[in-house]
Structure 1
Amino acid sequence: MERQIDLIWKIQRHPIALFVVIGCLLIFSLAGYYRLNLDVDFSDYFSPSDPRLTALNSMTDKFERHDQLWMLLETEQDWRDDSAEVQLKAFLTMLNSDSNIISIQGYNQFVLGTAKAEKILAYKTHPRLSSVLSADGRAILLQIQLDNSKLTDFATQSLWLDEVLQTIETNSQRYWQPLNVEVHLNGTHALNWQYAKVLLHDLSWFAPALLGIIFLMALLFIRQKMWILALALNNLITLLLTLGLAAWLNLTLAAISAFVPVIIVTLGLAYGSHLYFGWRTKLGGGASPNEALQYTVSVNQAPLFYSSITTIFGFSLLTLSPSPPIQSFGILVAFAVLCNYLLCLTSLIFFAQYSSASTKRLLNFDNVVQLAKYNARRPKAVIAGIVIFSVLALVSVTKLTLNDDPLSYFKSSNPFTLSSQKMAQYFSGINLQHYVVSTVEERQIDKAEISFIYKFSRYLKKQPEVVTVQHIGDWIKAAGIGQNQFRRVLSQNSVQQLGLASELAQDKQSSLITLYLQPMTAMELIAFERKVDTWLAEQSAGVKLSLPLGSNLLFAHLSVDNANNMLFSFAAALIALAILLSILKGSMIYGLIGLLLNFLPLLWVFALWQLNGGFISLGTAVVLGMMLGIIVDDTLHLMLKLPNTHISPLKAANSKLAVSADSLWQSLQQVLPVISFTTLTITCGFAIGLVSDFTPIGQLSLLSCLVVIFAWGFDVLMLPVLYLWWIVMKPKEAKAKTEI
């Protein structure tokens, strides 16, 4: 570490070279901003190489899908009334005049008579009428296909989508509002539109909130202009460099990425405060500003180095997630921590040299040590309480379930959430799953495939999770034709002529079975998939059948894989921390203490989360992967500054190196107030996420705040007790035994 300290002061002798390097890096970063992909798309959460995503995209290309943009119109009267039909036709004329709309399908096809009904028996209802007209006639669905030819006129697809959908929604509501008709948009386009709006909402709140926190912390605890300037400048440089990294590496950004700047600025302020408080403490002891600066660098350089390493390691483990945005999340924060560490020991020190020697009284946390001393007088009660609550927490955590649902990521008042509720109320909902049935040989589907479709459909309809099943057999029954007639009709007409493009591939060699499922969580979807797979394994179908396909099921598998990987990341980071502390302090006892101080806060928080009805989701799983890298920083600052001995307790008992309780409290007096400030800073910073309209960020924010607070509690209340028992008392006991 001495070489690094020498290097730090050598750099300070060449400030021009330092800022030239920083300037060049900023220019390089800014030059890559044009590469940033700021589009927000739900599919970005999936890896492009995921075989399920590839199969889903292949199905979308093969069959005509009608789920990109649905418009649900709800009224108190019956849409089959003549007056309602007149109003609807006039509305359709208005929509068709919009140059952004290519075509409109759905209930209007029945109103305008374009639905393929010439082959349907007169006494049979069209098999797809119930899909676009509710049973009570109060709601209808229109499927709108957009023209993206003007997409090139916009910087991103999200901006194009925002303008187009905003126009459609505004014009539609203006038309129907006098008639008391409610307009709801749903589908893939509507989902991505809401993701983009949520991202903009969060960013508009996060930026001023971060500035407010910096101002508040500076006003109450720092009040040194040069230090405030240096901290703010470091955060700005770190943000710009991190954004440049995202651009040059073409990292995938999503709604959850909006929280990255919050983490970067919060951690930057917390890390830099260690140097500031060390400087202020030494200054209060009568040292000159330069001596105080040299002191704080010497005592904080090692803790800053190792805490940065562990934080980088913790966030780097997020790259094990199967989701590209979470991988990018980890890469960006890890890089930002590295940048902040380097800037703290270069540019921050440069500006700090010009700080005044003022030592005016500011708010502090000196009384925290008194709290720790009070608690340390009752070691048996403390240990007993921790053991009991930890056992109960362990039992609670084992009951945690994966209950993720990507369609519930918006607040209840969000337009997409409301439209999804209407889709479930009047129709079969939006939880779709598909199977592609194909011929074994390259030929037109025939009796074997149709028979299997009927058999499979009968099984599916008996399952309580299934609302309804749609397949080509519905059309065959409505047409009242047999197998031979179907073969002839199919060979004599194109798929478009029959109006079956959504259920029959262009080459007529495969057909689609579509399931409408009840609202289900990730684990319920996977359980249903396994149940169906078990039934299929017992059948001798003689046909080719795809995997179950659907965005919700795809996300369910993503959630499970992500949770498992984050749990592995947490375990790896915890073990790495224990090993690092054992090596640095020369004793496995320190490693064990560090392990307990960082494992128990997460255990207790997730136990409370489960008791309050919480579950594992995308946001909560990320907490497992990232929080250990954050809370371990305070542990390292504490442990590395505690009185140290590299010899066994028996030798320490007969040595001048034996540590004492007084030396413990002297060390804690220097560190506990600082980590109390960093805890307050991180908690306030992460609490900003509570205003997010995106549920994963809200959950991530809440759990992160709780973990940080609990970790502080364990550092203040548990560390002194364990240290006194295992480090101070053990040598005394050993000495007593030798005297006997």
Structure 2
Amino acid sequence: MNAIQKTKNAANAFAKNWANFVIKFKWPVLILTILLAMGLASQGKMEFDGDYHVFFSESNPELEAFDALQEKYTKDDNIIVVLAPKDGNIFTRENLVAIEELTAEAWNTPYSSRVDAVTNFQHTSAQGDDLYVDDLSYDSANKTDAEIAEIREKALKEPLLVHRIINEEGSVTAINITVRLPGENSAAEIPEVTIATREMMSKFQESHPNFDVYTTGLVPLNTAFFESSQKDLMLTMVMLLIVVIVTLILTRNFFATLATLVVVLFSIMSAVGFIGLNGIKLTPPSAVFPTMILTLAVADSIHILVTYLQKVRKDGLDKKAALVESMRLNFMPVFITSLTTVIGFLTLNYGDVPPFWDLGNIVAFGMAMAFLFSTTTLPALMAIFPIWKSKKIAKQQDKELHKGMYARLGQFVIKQPLRLTIISLAIIGMLAYLASKNVFNDEFVEYFDTTVQFRQDSDFINENLTGFYNVEFSVGSGESGGINNPEYLQKLNEFEVWLEEQPEVVHVNAFSEVARRVNRSMHGDDQNFYKVPENREEAAQYLLLYELSLPFGLDLNNQINVDKSESRVTVTLENNSSAEMIAFAERSEQWLEDNAPEAMHSLAVSPTLMFSKLGFRQAESMFKGNIIALILISLVLMIALRNVKLGFLSIIPNVTPVLVGFGLWFLLKGTINTGMVIVFGMTLGIIVDDTVHFMSKFLRARRELGYNAKDAIIYAFETVGKALVTTTIVLLAGFVVLSTSTFALNSYMARITVIIIIAALVIDFILLPSLLILVSKKEEKIVTEPKMQMQLDK
């Protein structure tokens, strides 16, 4: 007896002994697994974190640069409230009064540190040698028509207002509320601000129904992340119902459905315990873990149950014998698919997006527990439950071999393996080429479906007032007080002018504009002096006088640092693709390097830019993880199949579905986001499930039953075809439900996974059997099992 056969016998003996043990001690096994699941669940604690910072690792260089910029100035988040009066004119007495009221109320927002509006804009004017800085519009109720007309004229000529606080037509205006969150508990702080803001907006609209109100900004963005997490978690209930229905239809057995439901619920309960024990906070990507575990765990149960029911209904075995035989046939394939799924999800830790680390670890643990429960709780329950046995017993296996839908599909494949291989590889090659044409695009506003209020509001604001995307620079002077240096101010002014000339730029907010405005006012509002001061002492005096005139909360701390050695330039952009955003940032950095002294060189930073680079960074970091996963899974299959040649061959059906998926995605969409980068590692285990079950049945027919390659292919179709189709349908149901998510990172990932799952089944039904026939020797027949074993299989 050779080594392969000894290993095979040992594996069979272990599976049989395991099954006999579980069946014999079914009640203790069931009670112990119930206690394990409930014990883990008791440690569960699900908290949500909606802060956009969670998408970036602590070592992320863009995050470090952005945090450094905020430390220099003011660390703040914001809520942009946009008001659109139905009469289309901001500058009426009634509308200005309403804006004044809302501006005053906005100061009561929790953690608010600054409120900017058209009414409280600090307008400078001069009377003789005196500089006056006043709200652009105060006590609006008592303004005359002429005064309101003058306010309108000043506002629409003010560069710091147009395309930032008001639009060119004066029909839409914004109130920007700056908040400084303590950062101690974002899960509590962000909802607190959101609730207060929504109550304020609701009261405002009750009092002023002539206004349409829209909100955007970093706090609403965080809120949208937070609410998306909760909504996606609720998809679990929908999926649970679908799995019950699909499993019941496909197995036509109530008790099998109930046992499956118990396994998936125990798996999810265990994962919840894992979350609590590790202090993980859920985010939109990681909040889909129940749907994933539920979907994948069902696949384990389905293979065992379908074989069990076949042995009872077709082969006439009694309950215990059918359970033992099902466990013998499926224990190793289920173990392999569980192991490869765990490996695939653990590779998400190689990425650069922490929420996907959490998703990978949670699902990996859940799948490990799913394997445990499907090989203990499931057979124990089926041993306890009664079986509704069909009286019809099929004919012998060799007579049944060439009958049925799956046998006909097998007949189709074995007649033309070479032709099918060539056609399949040609199609895969073409789609692999198209897959390389996909481009990254991580516009975080588009992370949300158009049904999400945040997305709707942001789109309106982008179209009617200002862009939501921005890029910031901290431009240094190289010395304390250097921002008053005329040479610095001149270069800063040139940079501002260059930025405004760029096609994607909507607005530029730079200190050079303040310097020009104050200089003009200090020279009797003479337009000829609307330029940066040419004398350092003069510039310093003007700045001091201006700062002393500013009211509390509207100072320049958000624009110049403490020792006045650096100033902040904020560039507002149209909604651009990730590549365009990165290109603009690099172009701007290059302009400073080419045209300004070294002290003024600066890196472009902003949350927008961080998200734009996130997909590229994730792809680079995941590449290594995917290669490692592929190598590990191939080694696992070589060992499990005990055949190096077939282990290498398995790489083809394990990799090609992903290439096909991304190729078809290019035809459908053409852009991919951060969530889709993880698909390769995530779907490897799913794809391997089809491959390993088909190949294991093929090898069983060759090694145990002595079939030639073509008959072994038909045997594999007959014995595992239904189970593969069944698990595919369940997987599709799960990911189709997830594809309805309003969060694009999840929905896009689910949609391409649906394509990949379908491609995997087609490839494993067409290309894999064709390859198996081509690489097998026609004359090779291995009959190593005793007659008794062969008879049992028949």
Contact residue 110 and residue 196 of structure 2 kept, 8 A:
no
Equivalent residue for 2:504, pick from 465, 468, 475: 465
Distance 1:146 1:432 in 2: 18
- Name 1:664's counterpart in structure 2: 713
- Name 2:726's counterpart in structure 1: 677
Contact residue 697 and residue 715 of structure 2 kept, 8 A:
no
Equivalent residue for 1:88, pick from 99, 124, 127: 99
When structure 1 is superposed on structure 2, of 248-257 and 426-435 the one drifting more is: 248-257
Whether 1:228 and 2:257 are equivalent positions in the alignment is yes
Classify the secondary structure of the residue corresponding to 2:57: coil
- Name 2:88's counterpart in structure 1: 77
When structure 1 is superposed on structure 2, of 61-70 and 96-105 the one drifting more is: 96-105
Q: CA deviation at 1:676?
A: 0.8
Q: CA deviation at 1:203?
A: 3.1
Contact residue 333 and residue 696 of structure 2 kept, 8 A:
yes
Equivalent residue for 1:184, pick from 176, 192, 214: 214
- Name 2:787's counterpart in structure 1: none
Equivalent residue for 2:172, pick from 115, 121, 139: 139
Shift of the 129–493 alpha-carbon distance from structure 1 to 2, 3 Å rule, reads closer
1:183 counterpart letter in structure 2: V
Gaps of 5+ in 2: 1-10, 135-152, 395-402, 520-532, 782-794
- Name 2:753's counterpart in structure 1: 704
Superimposed CA distance per residue, residues 5-36 of structure 1 (whole angstroms, 9 cap, x where no aligned partner) = 535544555556645654554455345434x4
Classify the secondary structure of the residue corresponding to 1:642: helix
Whether 1:719 and 2:771 are equivalent positions in the alignment is no
1:238 counterpart letter in structure 2: S
Distance 1:361 1:176 in 2: 75
- Name 1:309's counterpart in structure 2: 339
**Which aligned pairs between 1:285-434 and structure 2 lie closer than 5 A?**
285-360=315-390, 367-434=405-472
Equivalent residue for 2:66, pick from 53, 56, 64: 56
- Name 2:541's counterpart in structure 1: 488
- Name 2:305's counterpart in structure 1: 276
Contact residue 336 and residue 640 of structure 2 kept, 8 A:
no
Q: CA deviation at 1:91?
A: 4.4
1:508 counterpart letter in structure 2: K
Q: CA deviation at 1:713?
A: 0.9
Contact residue 376 and residue 717 of structure 1 kept, 8 A:
no
Shift of the 31–684 alpha-carbon distance from structure 1 to 2, 3 Å rule, reads closer
**Which aligned pairs between 1:241-280 and structure 2 lie closer than 5 A?**
241-280=270-309
Classify the secondary structure of the residue corresponding to 1:718: helix
Equivalent residue for 1:46, pick from 15, 33, 56: 56
Distance 2:622 2:343 in 1: 13
Give the TM-score normalised by the residue count of structure 1.
0.88
Distance 2:634 2:539 in 1: 70
Classify the secondary structure of the residue corresponding to 2:567: strand
Gaps of 5+ in 1: 648-654, 733-740
Contact residue 708 and residue 778 of structure 2 kept, 8 A:
no
Shift of the 383–552 alpha-carbon distance from structure 1 to 2, 3 Å rule, reads same
- Name 2:8's counterpart in structure 1: none
Q: CA deviation at 1:183?
A: 0.4
Whether 1:37 and 2:47 are equivalent positions in the alignment is yes
Classify the secondary structure of the residue corresponding to 2:213: strand
Classify the secondary structure of the residue corresponding to 1:109: coil
* RMSD over equivalenced CA pairs, Å: 3.3
1:696 counterpart letter in structure 2: L
Distance 1:87 1:460 in 2: 34
Superimposed CA distance per residue, residues 354-386 of structure 1 (whole angstroms, 9 cap, x where no aligned partner) = 232323499x99523322322432334312321
Distance 1:155 1:565 in 2: 29
Shift of the 173–411 alpha-carbon distance from structure 1 to 2, 3 Å rule, reads farther
Contact residue 435 and residue 545 of structure 1 kept, 8 A:
no
Contact residue 272 and residue 344 of structure 1 kept, 8 A:
yes
**Which aligned pairs between 1:553-632 and structure 2 lie closer than 5 A?**
553-632=609-688
Q: CA deviation at 1:707?
A: 0.8
Distance 2:60 2:499 in 1: 26
Superimposed CA distance per residue, residues 681-724 of structure 1 (whole angstroms, 9 cap, x where no aligned partner) = 10111110122111222211111111111111111122222222
Distance 1:157 1:30 in 2: 28
Q: CA deviation at 1:340?
A: 0.4
Distance 1:266 1:684 in 2: 8
Classify the secondary structure of the residue corresponding to 2:173: strand
Contact residue 434 and residue 515 of structure 1 kept, 8 A:
yes
Superimposed CA distance per residue, residues 573-627 of structure 1 (whole angstroms, 9 cap, x where no aligned partner) = 3333333333433444313431221222221221111122321212221222211
Classify the secondary structure of the residue corresponding to 2:364: helix
**Which aligned pairs between 1:432-451 and structure 2 lie closer than 5 A?**
432-447=470-485, 448-451=487-490
Contact residue 5 and residue 301 of structure 1 kept, 8 A:
no
When structure 1 is superposed on structure 2, of 217-226 and 261-270 the one drifting more is: 217-226
Classify the secondary structure of the residue corresponding to 1:499: coil
Distance 1:47 1:155 in 2: 18
Shift of the 517–150 alpha-carbon distance from structure 1 to 2, 3 Å rule, reads closer
Q: CA deviation at 1:233?
A: 1.6
Whether 1:547 and 2:592 are equivalent positions in the alignment is no
Q: CA deviation at 1:467?
A: 2.9
When structure 1 is superposed on structure 2, of 262-271 and 445-454 the one drifting more is: 445-454
Whether 1:108 and 2:108 are equivalent positions in the alignment is no
When structure 1 is superposed on structure 2, of 21-30 and 372-381 the one drifting more is: 21-30
Q: CA deviation at 1:135?
A: 1.3
Q: CA deviation at 1:142?
A: 0.7
Q: CA deviation at 1:415?
A: 2.3
Shift of the 625–529 alpha-carbon distance from structure 1 to 2, 3 Å rule, reads farther
Distance 1:539 1:92 in 2: 41
- Name 1:651's counterpart in structure 2: none
Contact residue 657 and residue 759 of structure 2 kept, 8 A:
yes
Distance 1:617 1:602 in 2: 16
Distance 1:226 1:387 in 2: 43
Distance 2:174 2:391 in 1: 67
2:272 counterpart letter in structure 1: L
Q: CA deviation at 1:243?
A: 1.3
- Name 1:207's counterpart in structure 2: 236
Give the TM-score normalised by the residue count of structure 2.
0.83
2:81 counterpart letter in structure 1: M
Q: CA deviation at 1:100?
A: 8.3
1:468 counterpart letter in structure 2: H
